[in-house]
């Protein structure tokens, strides 16, 4: 039966923290099957298990321990779908080559997120932005396309803002993050810097959140996205947590709804990935917590394979009207899982 013919995919940057999560998530994926694992020149030619240490639990190397790594260019690593866990530098060079060669490139890198013709896609939030790839193809003459998922902190935030923006309109957002060390990759944050500490700085993070939110919440137009008129202030911190970003959020909503109205909107939200039952979509996009001290990152973030976000402590804010605690998984929903969900959406929309 046709549903058993899976679509071959490539993972670029397969040895890193996010690359490994791509591999683990794709190991038994119902639609996709890994064709190529690509890595830097230094690693290509090696077996996957030789090129890196597997840092996740679950089946080591996603069952591909002996898979031989190839260089990350279309000549060696072409597939209809390419998942990119590259850093921004290599991404800006390599991703266009794959798009030109005809691949749909689902990128976790920041290189093209703010590029006019590139969708900054979260399937629950702005599935219609997918159509930007028409503009992109016209513009570049490509057969493929680049589709970005946003910065991890921005992804988690926009999941909570989207239903509020649809229901009320979001005008202002304060967001103070307490971010996990896995967001910096491996080896990433030195233990000497973070044990028993809070580091009040993550390079470019505040800027990314402040600029990506208006694009994601913006209205699709054939020649690009009209940015939403949402003013965002982000204050980003690193804390001694392995996975999961906690965000303290205050919002000014039009009409100044009550906490109870906000809670009801979040609870009732049923966006497209859940309606389409995409394989990686969590049962509900937002888990609401009633306990006064939840969500808590260590206790809650792994629920739903890290694909839902968590909201709790919805209460009145003396300044903006509503404040709440938000939590999401930075390397699942905010990286590998989000990217794969984007590909599932593209598949469901007949783009493959």
152 in active site: yes
In degrees and rounded to multiples of 5, residue 257 shows phi and psi of -65, 160
The CA distance from 195 to 178, in Å, is: 14
The CA distance from 246 to 344, in Å, is: 27
Q: Which residues contact 159 (CB under 8 A, 6 or more apart)?
A: 122, 124, 125, 285, 286, 309, 328, 333
148 in active site: no
Running DSSP on this structure, what letter comes out for residue 98? H
262-to-167, 265, 271, 285, 311 alpha-carbon distances in Å: 9, 5, 16, 15, 11
Q: Which is nearer to a copy of itself, 53 or 277 (CB)?
A: 53
The catalytic residue among 36, 67, 165, 245 is 245
| Residues in contact with a copy of itself, shown as a per-residue x/- string from 245 to 284 under the rule CB under 8 A | -x-x-x----------------------------------
Determine, following the binding rule CB under 8 A, whether residue 200 of this chain makes contact with a copy of itself.
Answer: yes
Smallest separation, CB 65 to a copy of itself (Å): 12
The catalytic residue among 52, 67, 129, 152 is 152
Determine, following the binding rule CB under 8 A, whether residue 291 of this chain makes contact with a copy of itself.
Answer: yes
Running DSSP on this structure, what letter comes out for residue 42? T
Q: Which is nearer to a copy of itself, 171 or 264 (CB)?
A: 171
CA dihedral 341, 26, 183, 250 (to 10 degrees): 20
Judged by CB under 8 A, the stretch of 40-48, 71-79, 129-137, 173-181 that binds a copy of itself is 173-181
The CA distance from 234 to 241, in Å, is: 19
With CB under 8 A as the contact rule, the residue among 5, 192, 275, 350 that binds a copy of itself is 192
Give the interface with a copy of itself as residue ranges (CB under 8 A): 17, 53, 55, 57, 172, 174, 176, 178, 181-182, 186-201, 210, 231-233, 235, 237, 239-242, 246, 248, 250, 291-300, 302-303, 312-313, 317-320, 323, 325
The catalytic residues are 152, 245
């Amino acid at each position: 039966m046709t549903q058993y013919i899976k679509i071959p995919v490539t993972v670029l940057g397969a040895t890193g923290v996010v690359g490994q999560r791509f591999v683990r998530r794709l190991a038994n994926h119902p639609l996709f099957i890994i064709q190529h694992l690509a890595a830097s020149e230094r690693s290509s030619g090696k077996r996957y298990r030789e090129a890196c240490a597997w840092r996740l639990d679950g089946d080591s190397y996603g069952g591909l321990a002996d898979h031989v790594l190839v260089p990350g260019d279309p000549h060696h690593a072409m597939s209809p779908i390419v998942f990119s866990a590259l850093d921004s530098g290599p991404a800006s060079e390599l991703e266009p080559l794959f798009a030109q060669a005809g691949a749909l490139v689902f990128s976790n890198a920041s290189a093209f997120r703010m590029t006019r013709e590139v969708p900054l896609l979260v399937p629950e939030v702005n599935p219609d932005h997918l159509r930007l790839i028409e503009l992109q193809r016209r513009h570049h003459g490509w057969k493929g396309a680049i589709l970005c998922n946003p910065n991890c902190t921005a992804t988690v935030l926009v999941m909570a803002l989207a239903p509020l923006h649809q229901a009320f309109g979001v005008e202002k957002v304060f967001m103070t993050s307490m971010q996990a060390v896995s967001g910096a990759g491996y080896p990433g944050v030195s233990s000497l810097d973070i044990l028993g500490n809070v580091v009040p700085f993550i390079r470019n993070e505040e800027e990314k959140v402040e600029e990506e939110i208006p694009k994601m919440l913006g209205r699709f137009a054939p020649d690009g996205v009209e940015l939403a008129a949402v003013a965002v202030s982000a204050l980003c911190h690193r804390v001694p947590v392995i996975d999961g970003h906690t965000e303290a959020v205050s919002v000014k909503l039009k009409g100044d709804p009550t906490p109870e109205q906000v809670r009801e909107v979040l609870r009732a939200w049923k966006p497209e990935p859940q309606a389409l039952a995409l394989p990686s979509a969590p049962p509900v996009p937002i888990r609401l917590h009633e306990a006064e001290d939840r969500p808590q990152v260590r206790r809650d973030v792994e629920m739903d394979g890290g694909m839902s976000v968590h909201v709790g402590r919805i209460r009145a804010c003396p300044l903006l009207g509503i404040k709440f605690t938000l939590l999401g998984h930075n390397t699942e929903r905010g990286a590998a899982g989000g990217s794969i969900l984007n590909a599932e959406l593209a598949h469901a929309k007949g783009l493959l």
